[in-house]
Amino acid sequence: MYYVLTYEVPQDENEGYLDLQDGLDFDGVDSWSLGQRFLAALPDPIEVDLIPVSSFRGEPSEMYDGNMCLMSARLVSALLACGVDNIDHYRAVLKNTETGQTYSYRAVNIVGLIAATDLASSVWESHDGDARFDTSFDALAVNEDKALGALIFRLAENTSTILIHAKVRDHLLSVGFPTLRFLKPSEWVT
């Protein structure tokens, strides 16, 4: 079984949070969500600002997947420990612009897109009629045979969707990552 890997950004009682400034461009990197290896050298470390909204004082999420995918070093270690072998990861430092506090993260490129959607059983829409890259889902059904047992991958039909095998989900739950969410594909809405 596969699950959609998502996350929550921690908020406080005043609805404050850390706004991640990940809109960084690097020569030779077209997108972090196309599943392609990068040939260009990236900064070491990649520095990303966290801007507190409403004077938020809490910790960042274990994961962010916006312009680039960022995961805590602890999360990347947990993925590697359970056998994930198709991620390239680069040192990253998240810095709170108010407090100066830094967090050790990894910029993660999930290598490989897999077209694993069971389109006949999914509720989906595509403006160009082609179920590739940016398909919208009201309910996703995964064809597990097409997933080929991959432990983590981006869905070729919607590259912002990260799927993980139940083995990975179970391992992450056992380690404890409070900001991660694991949705059944049928619950996934994009």
162 touches 190 (CB < 8 A):
no
Residue 93 within a domain: yes
131-187 pLDDT, tens digit per residue, is 565 666 677 878 999 999 999 999 988 888 999 999 999 999 999 999 999 999 888
Expressed as residue numbers, the domain containing 91 is 2-176
> Position 170: which residue type?
D
Residue 181 within a domain: no
Residue 189 within a domain: no
Residue 21 within a domain: yes
78-109 pLDDT, tens digit per residue, is 999 999 999 999 999 999 999 999 999 999 99
Residue 184 within a domain: no
Question: What pLDDT is attached to residue 127?
Answer: 64
Total of domains in the chain: 1
Handedness of CA 180, 8, 42, 67 (dihedral sign): positive
Residue 183 within a domain: no
